Amino acid sequence: MSVPKILLLGLGELGSSLFSHLASLPSIHLTIGTHDPSKHASLLSSHPTVSHIAIDLTSPSTSLAKTFAAYDVLISATGFSSTPDSVMKLAHEVLEAGKIRQAQGKGKLWFFPWQWGVDYDVTGDGEGLMPLFGQQKAARDFLREKAEQSGVCWTIVSTGIFMSFLFEDFWGIVDRSREDNGKIVVRCLKDWKHRVTVTDVDDIGRVVARVLSGHVEAENRILYVAGDTVSYEELADIVGRASRKEIDKEEWSIPHLDTELKADPENRLKKYRLVFAREGVWWDKEKTVNHQLGMSMADVETYARKLFGNKDSSQ
Protein backbone atom coordinates (compact mmCIF):
# COMPACT_ATOMS: atom_id res chain seq x y z
CA MET A 1 0.00 0.00 0.00
CA SER A 2 1.34 3.44 -0.96
CA VAL A 3 2.08 6.04 1.68
CA PRO A 4 -0.78 8.59 1.90
CA LYS A 5 0.19 12.00 0.58
CA ILE A 6 -1.17 14.96 2.56
CA LEU A 7 -1.16 18.55 1.29
CA LEU A 8 -1.56 21.21 3.98
CA LEU A 9 -2.42 24.65 2.62
CA GLY A 10 -1.23 27.47 4.89
CA LEU A 11 1.19 27.90 7.78
CA GLY A 12 -0.53 30.55 9.87
CA GLU A 13 -1.68 30.08 13.45
CA LEU A 14 -3.79 27.03 12.69
CA GLY A 15 -1.59 25.69 9.89
CA SER A 16 1.46 25.72 12.15
CA SER A 17 -0.39 23.71 14.79
CA LEU A 18 -1.62 21.21 12.22
CA PHE A 19 1.91 20.96 10.82
CA SER A 20 3.47 20.13 14.18
CA HIS A 21 1.04 17.29 14.81
CA LEU A 22 0.79 15.92 11.27
CA ALA A 23 4.55 15.90 10.78
CA SER A 24 4.86 13.35 13.57
CA LEU A 25 2.32 10.92 12.12
CA PRO A 26 3.86 7.66 10.95
CA SER A 27 3.52 6.33 7.42
CA ILE A 28 2.40 9.53 5.72
CA HIS A 29 4.12 12.03 3.46
CA LEU A 30 3.35 15.65 4.31
CA THR A 31 3.67 18.55 1.88
CA ILE A 32 3.16 22.18 2.85
CA GLY A 33 1.70 24.52 0.27
CA THR A 34 2.23 28.26 0.79
CA HIS A 35 2.58 31.29 -1.43
CA ASP A 36 6.25 31.86 -0.49
CA PRO A 37 8.14 28.77 0.75
CA SER A 38 11.25 30.84 1.55
CA LYS A 39 9.43 32.40 4.52
CA HIS A 40 9.29 29.03 6.25
CA ALA A 41 12.72 27.64 5.35
CA SER A 42 13.97 27.54 8.96
CA LEU A 43 10.88 25.66 10.18
CA LEU A 44 11.03 23.09 7.43
CA SER A 45 14.78 22.57 7.72
CA SER A 46 14.13 20.78 11.01
CA HIS A 47 11.70 18.41 9.26
CA PRO A 48 13.66 16.95 6.35
CA THR A 49 10.92 14.45 5.46
CA VAL A 50 8.38 17.23 4.86
CA SER A 51 8.10 18.72 1.37
CA HIS A 52 7.19 22.32 0.56
CA ILE A 53 5.74 23.70 -2.66
CA ALA A 54 4.73 27.18 -3.78
CA ILE A 55 0.98 27.45 -4.31
CA ASP A 56 -0.86 30.58 -5.34
CA LEU A 57 -4.55 29.97 -4.73
CA THR A 58 -5.44 32.79 -7.13
CA SER A 59 -3.93 30.73 -9.97
CA PRO A 60 -6.19 29.33 -12.70
CA SER A 61 -8.39 26.53 -11.41
CA THR A 62 -7.27 24.06 -14.09
CA SER A 63 -3.67 24.28 -12.92
CA LEU A 64 -4.55 24.00 -9.23
CA ALA A 65 -6.83 21.00 -9.77
CA LYS A 66 -3.97 19.12 -11.44
CA THR A 67 -1.70 19.94 -8.48
CA PHE A 68 -4.29 18.85 -5.91
CA ALA A 69 -4.93 15.57 -7.77
CA ALA A 70 -1.45 14.36 -6.81
CA TYR A 71 -2.48 14.14 -3.13
CA ASP A 72 -4.71 11.81 -1.16
CA VAL A 73 -5.66 14.37 1.52
CA LEU A 74 -6.00 18.14 1.21
CA ILE A 75 -6.33 20.28 4.33
CA SER A 76 -7.11 23.97 3.98
CA ALA A 77 -5.71 26.22 6.71
CA THR A 78 -5.69 29.37 4.60
CA GLY A 79 -7.44 31.54 7.18
CA PHE A 80 -10.11 34.20 7.11
CA SER A 81 -7.95 36.41 4.94
CA SER A 82 -9.62 34.50 2.12
CA THR A 83 -12.23 36.34 0.08
CA PRO A 84 -15.77 34.95 -0.04
CA ASP A 85 -15.32 33.90 -3.68
CA SER A 86 -12.16 31.95 -2.89
CA VAL A 87 -14.11 29.52 -0.68
CA MET A 88 -16.17 28.16 -3.56
CA LYS A 89 -13.25 28.44 -5.99
CA LEU A 90 -11.23 26.01 -3.88
CA ALA A 91 -14.21 23.66 -3.45
CA HIS A 92 -14.68 23.48 -7.23
CA GLU A 93 -10.95 22.86 -7.75
CA VAL A 94 -10.94 20.03 -5.24
CA LEU A 95 -13.85 18.33 -6.99
CA GLU A 96 -12.09 18.70 -10.33
CA ALA A 97 -9.02 17.12 -8.72
CA GLY A 98 -11.21 14.25 -7.55
CA LYS A 99 -12.41 13.68 -11.10
CA ILE A 100 -8.81 13.64 -12.35
CA ARG A 101 -7.98 11.00 -9.74
CA GLN A 102 -11.02 8.97 -10.81
CA ALA A 103 -9.79 9.00 -14.42
CA GLN A 104 -6.37 7.86 -13.19
CA GLY A 105 -7.87 5.00 -11.21
CA LYS A 106 -6.85 6.49 -7.87
CA GLY A 107 -8.82 6.56 -4.63
CA LYS A 108 -10.97 9.36 -3.31
CA LEU A 109 -9.45 12.73 -2.42
CA TRP A 110 -10.15 13.52 1.25
CA PHE A 111 -10.87 17.24 1.71
CA PHE A 112 -10.81 19.26 4.94
CA PRO A 113 -12.13 22.71 3.92
CA TRP A 114 -11.52 25.92 5.86
CA GLN A 115 -14.54 25.52 8.14
CA TRP A 116 -12.67 25.63 11.45
CA GLY A 117 -15.15 27.88 13.16
CA VAL A 118 -18.84 28.17 13.90
CA ASP A 119 -21.79 26.15 12.61
CA TYR A 120 -22.35 27.82 9.26
CA ASP A 121 -25.47 25.72 8.66
CA VAL A 122 -27.02 27.71 11.52
CA THR A 123 -25.40 31.12 11.07
CA GLY A 124 -25.78 31.27 7.30
CA ASP A 125 -24.52 34.64 6.14
CA GLY A 126 -25.47 36.31 9.42
CA GLU A 127 -28.62 37.87 7.94
CA GLY A 128 -26.52 39.44 5.22
CA LEU A 129 -23.74 40.71 7.49
CA MET A 130 -21.13 38.08 6.65
CA PRO A 131 -20.88 37.09 2.97
CA LEU A 132 -17.88 34.91 3.84
CA PHE A 133 -20.01 32.89 6.26
CA GLY A 134 -22.63 32.57 3.53
CA GLN A 135 -20.03 31.13 1.18
CA GLN A 136 -18.98 28.66 3.87
CA LYS A 137 -22.58 27.46 4.00
CA ALA A 138 -22.69 27.29 0.20
CA ALA A 139 -19.49 25.22 0.18
CA ARG A 140 -21.06 22.74 2.62
CA ASP A 141 -24.12 22.35 0.43
CA PHE A 142 -21.95 21.98 -2.68
CA LEU A 143 -19.85 19.23 -1.10
CA ARG A 144 -22.93 17.40 0.14
CA GLU A 145 -24.44 17.43 -3.33
CA LYS A 146 -21.46 16.96 -5.64
CA ALA A 147 -18.47 15.46 -3.78
CA GLU A 148 -19.39 11.77 -3.90
CA GLN A 149 -19.83 11.67 -7.67
CA SER A 150 -16.58 13.58 -8.12
CA GLY A 151 -14.42 11.15 -6.19
CA VAL A 152 -14.12 13.36 -3.12
CA CYS A 153 -14.95 12.73 0.52
CA TRP A 154 -14.95 15.58 2.99
CA THR A 155 -14.67 16.26 6.69
CA ILE A 156 -15.63 19.55 8.31
CA VAL A 157 -14.16 20.21 11.75
CA SER A 158 -16.18 22.83 13.65
CA THR A 159 -14.08 24.18 16.51
CA GLY A 160 -15.79 27.38 17.60
CA ILE A 161 -13.46 30.36 17.77
CA PHE A 162 -9.81 29.98 18.63
CA MET A 163 -9.23 30.22 22.37
CA SER A 164 -6.79 33.12 21.98
CA PHE A 165 -9.38 35.15 20.07
CA LEU A 166 -11.70 35.25 23.10
CA PHE A 167 -9.08 37.22 25.03
CA GLU A 168 -7.81 39.50 22.25
CA ASP A 169 -8.02 43.22 23.05
CA PHE A 170 -9.63 44.06 19.71
CA TRP A 171 -12.47 41.58 20.30
CA GLY A 172 -13.44 43.63 23.35
CA ILE A 173 -14.87 40.82 25.49
CA VAL A 174 -12.01 40.73 28.01
CA ASP A 175 -10.80 44.32 28.34
CA ARG A 176 -7.55 44.61 30.29
CA SER A 177 -6.96 48.32 29.65
CA ARG A 178 -7.64 49.15 33.33
CA GLU A 179 -5.79 46.15 34.74
CA ASP A 180 -3.09 48.35 36.30
CA ASN A 181 -5.85 49.95 38.36
CA GLY A 182 -6.96 46.54 39.60
CA LYS A 183 -9.94 46.17 37.28
CA ILE A 184 -10.81 44.10 34.22
CA VAL A 185 -13.94 44.64 32.15
CA VAL A 186 -15.72 41.55 30.87
CA ARG A 187 -18.48 42.06 28.32
CA CYS A 188 -21.14 39.65 27.12
CA LEU A 189 -22.67 39.34 23.68
CA LYS A 190 -26.50 39.22 23.80
CA ASP A 191 -26.77 38.44 27.54
CA TRP A 192 -24.86 36.73 30.34
CA LYS A 193 -26.43 33.34 29.68
CA HIS A 194 -25.39 33.33 26.01
CA ARG A 195 -22.61 30.86 25.30
CA VAL A 196 -19.58 30.50 23.07
CA THR A 197 -17.47 27.49 22.08
CA VAL A 198 -13.69 27.91 21.99
CA THR A 199 -10.77 25.60 21.21
CA ASP A 200 -7.03 26.11 21.51
CA VAL A 201 -5.26 25.76 18.15
CA ASP A 202 -2.84 23.17 19.50
CA ASP A 203 -5.77 20.99 20.50
CA ILE A 204 -7.25 21.35 17.01
CA GLY A 205 -4.02 19.92 15.61
CA ARG A 206 -4.20 17.01 18.06
CA VAL A 207 -7.79 16.22 17.09
CA VAL A 208 -7.09 16.32 13.34
CA ALA A 209 -4.14 13.96 13.81
CA ARG A 210 -6.50 11.50 15.54
CA VAL A 211 -9.06 11.88 12.74
CA LEU A 212 -6.45 11.21 10.06
CA SER A 213 -5.28 8.17 12.01
CA GLY A 214 -8.77 6.68 11.66
CA HIS A 215 -9.76 6.91 15.31
CA VAL A 216 -13.21 8.27 14.49
CA GLU A 217 -15.73 7.93 11.66
CA ALA A 218 -15.24 11.12 9.69
CA GLU A 219 -16.06 10.62 6.01
CA ASN A 220 -18.64 13.12 4.71
CA ARG A 221 -19.37 14.36 8.23
CA ILE A 222 -19.24 17.47 10.36
CA LEU A 223 -17.18 16.81 13.47
CA TYR A 224 -17.74 19.13 16.42
CA VAL A 225 -14.77 19.96 18.64
CA ALA A 226 -14.70 22.03 21.83
CA GLY A 227 -11.95 22.88 24.25
CA ASP A 228 -14.69 24.52 26.26
CA THR A 229 -18.18 25.94 25.99
CA VAL A 230 -18.92 28.70 28.48
CA SER A 231 -21.57 31.30 29.16
CA TYR A 232 -20.36 34.88 29.43
CA GLU A 233 -21.31 34.80 33.09
CA GLU A 234 -18.99 31.83 33.56
CA LEU A 235 -16.29 33.66 31.60
CA ALA A 236 -16.50 36.66 33.93
CA ASP A 237 -16.13 34.39 36.96
CA ILE A 238 -13.16 32.61 35.41
CA VAL A 239 -11.37 35.87 34.57
CA GLY A 240 -11.96 37.08 38.12
CA ARG A 241 -10.44 33.94 39.61
CA ALA A 242 -7.53 33.79 37.20
CA SER A 243 -6.60 37.48 37.40
CA ARG A 244 -7.56 38.11 41.02
CA LYS A 245 -8.79 41.50 39.85
CA GLU A 246 -12.10 43.26 40.33
CA ILE A 247 -14.42 42.48 37.42
CA ASP A 248 -16.67 45.13 35.91
CA LYS A 249 -19.40 43.60 33.76
CA GLU A 250 -20.92 45.27 30.71
CA GLU A 251 -23.73 43.81 28.64
CA TRP A 252 -23.60 44.23 24.88
CA SER A 253 -27.18 43.32 24.05
CA ILE A 254 -28.34 42.67 20.49
CA PRO A 255 -30.06 46.10 20.30
CA HIS A 256 -26.82 47.73 21.51
CA LEU A 257 -24.71 45.82 18.97
CA ASP A 258 -27.19 46.64 16.23
CA THR A 259 -27.05 50.35 17.08
CA GLU A 260 -23.24 50.25 17.13
CA LEU A 261 -23.17 48.66 13.68
CA LYS A 262 -25.67 51.10 12.19
CA ALA A 263 -23.37 53.93 13.28
CA ASP A 264 -20.42 52.23 11.56
CA PRO A 265 -21.93 49.87 8.96
CA GLU A 266 -18.67 48.83 7.28
CA ASN A 267 -16.95 47.82 10.52
CA ARG A 268 -16.25 44.10 10.10
CA LEU A 269 -15.54 43.58 13.80
CA LYS A 270 -18.94 44.95 14.77
CA LYS A 271 -20.55 42.62 12.24
CA TYR A 272 -18.75 39.68 13.83
CA ARG A 273 -19.93 40.66 17.30
CA LEU A 274 -23.55 40.81 16.20
CA VAL A 275 -23.33 37.41 14.51
CA PHE A 276 -21.72 35.92 17.63
CA ALA A 277 -24.62 37.24 19.70
CA ARG A 278 -26.89 34.88 17.77
CA GLU A 279 -27.11 31.10 17.43
CA GLY A 280 -24.71 28.61 15.84
CA VAL A 281 -21.65 29.69 17.85
CA TRP A 282 -21.72 27.06 20.58
CA TRP A 283 -22.39 23.36 21.23
CA ASP A 284 -22.23 21.01 24.19
CA LYS A 285 -18.82 19.49 24.92
CA GLU A 286 -20.46 16.10 25.47
CA LYS A 287 -21.40 15.99 21.78
CA THR A 288 -17.87 16.56 20.49
CA VAL A 289 -15.43 14.19 18.87
CA ASN A 290 -12.77 15.03 21.47
CA HIS A 291 -15.20 13.92 24.20
CA GLN A 292 -15.90 10.74 22.24
CA LEU A 293 -12.15 10.06 22.04
CA GLY A 294 -11.59 10.85 25.72
CA MET A 295 -9.10 13.60 24.90
CA SER A 296 -7.96 16.09 27.52
CA MET A 297 -8.33 19.62 26.14
CA ALA A 298 -7.33 23.07 27.35
CA ASP A 299 -10.40 24.75 28.83
CA VAL A 300 -10.98 28.46 29.38
CA GLU A 301 -9.91 28.30 33.03
CA THR A 302 -6.58 26.69 32.12
CA TYR A 303 -5.95 29.19 29.34
CA ALA A 304 -6.86 32.15 31.56
CA ARG A 305 -4.55 30.99 34.35
CA LYS A 306 -1.63 30.90 31.92
CA LEU A 307 -2.58 34.24 30.42
CA PHE A 308 -2.72 35.99 33.79
CA GLY A 309 0.26 34.12 35.21
CA ASN A 310 -1.84 32.48 37.93
CA LYS A 311 -1.16 28.77 38.19
CA ASP A 312 -3.79 28.26 40.86
CA SER A 313 -7.11 30.07 40.42
CA SER A 314 -8.99 27.86 42.86
CA GLN A 315 -8.66 30.33 45.71
pLDDT in tens, 199-212: 999 999 999 999 99
- 40 vs 10, more confident: 10
Q: Which of 158, 181, 206 is the last residue of a domain?
A: 158
- Do 22 and 141 lie in a common domain? yes
Q: What is the pLDDT of residue 48?
A: 82
Q: What is the pLDDT of residue 1?
A: 47
DSSP annotation of 184 reads E
- Do 167 and 254 lie in a common domain? yes
- Do 247 and 122 lie in a common domain? no
Q: pLDDT at residue 45 above 50? A: yes
- Do 154 and 166 lie in a common domain? no
- Do 169 and 96 lie in a common domain? no
Dist CA 176 CA 182 (whole Å): 10
For a pLDDT cut of 70, what percent of the chain falls above it? 97
- Do 142 and 240 lie in a common domain? no
Q: What is the pLDDT of residue 315?
A: 43
Tell me what the mean pLDDT of segment 247-256 comes to.
Answer: 98
Q: What's the half-sphere exposure (Cβ side, CA atoms, 13 Å) at 224?
A: 18
Domain presence at residue 206: no
- Do 174 and 101 lie in a common domain? no
Dist CA 23 CA 21 (whole Å): 6
Domain containing 36 equals: 5-158
Q: pLDDT at residue 279 above 90? A: yes
Long-range contacts of residues 165-173, Cβ cutoff 8 Å, at least 24 apart: 165/198, 166/196, 166/198, 166/235, 166/300, 167/303, 167/304, 167/307, 170/269, 171/269, 171/273, 172/273, 173/232, 173/235
Q: How high does pLDDT run on average in the chain?
A: 94
Dihedral-angle region of residue 268 (phi above 0 means left; psi in -120 to 50 means alpha; beta otherwise): alpha
Domain count within the chain? 2
Domain presence at residue 69: yes
Q: What is the phi/psi pair of residue 19, to 5°?
A: -55, -45
Q: What is the pLDDT of residue 80?
A: 65
Domain presence at residue 119: yes
- Do 46 and 183 lie in a common domain? no
3-state secondary structure 102-164: HHCCCCCEEEECCCCCCCHHHHCCCCCCCHHHHHHHHHHHHHHHHCHHHCEEEEEEECCEEHH
Q: Considering only 14-23, 36-45, 65-74, which range has the smallest mean pLDDT? A: 36-45
- Do 134 and 10 lie in a common domain? yes
- Do 140 and 84 lie in a common domain? yes
Domain presence at residue 202: no
Q: What is the pLDDT of residue 49?
A: 87
| CA-angle at 138, arms to 100 and 204, nearest 5° | 80
- Do 189 and 90 lie in a common domain? no
What's the CATH number where 55 sits?
Answer: 3.40.50.720
Instruction: Kindly report the pTM of this predicted structure.
Output: 0.94
Domain presence at residue 220: no
Rg (the chain; Cα; Å): 21
Domain presence at residue 260: yes
Domain presence at residue 39: yes
- Do 43 and 91 lie in a common domain? yes
What's the CATH number where 241 sits?
Answer: 3.90.25
Count CB neighbours of 313 within 10 A.
17
Q: What is the pLDDT of residue 259?
A: 98
Domain presence at residue 214: no
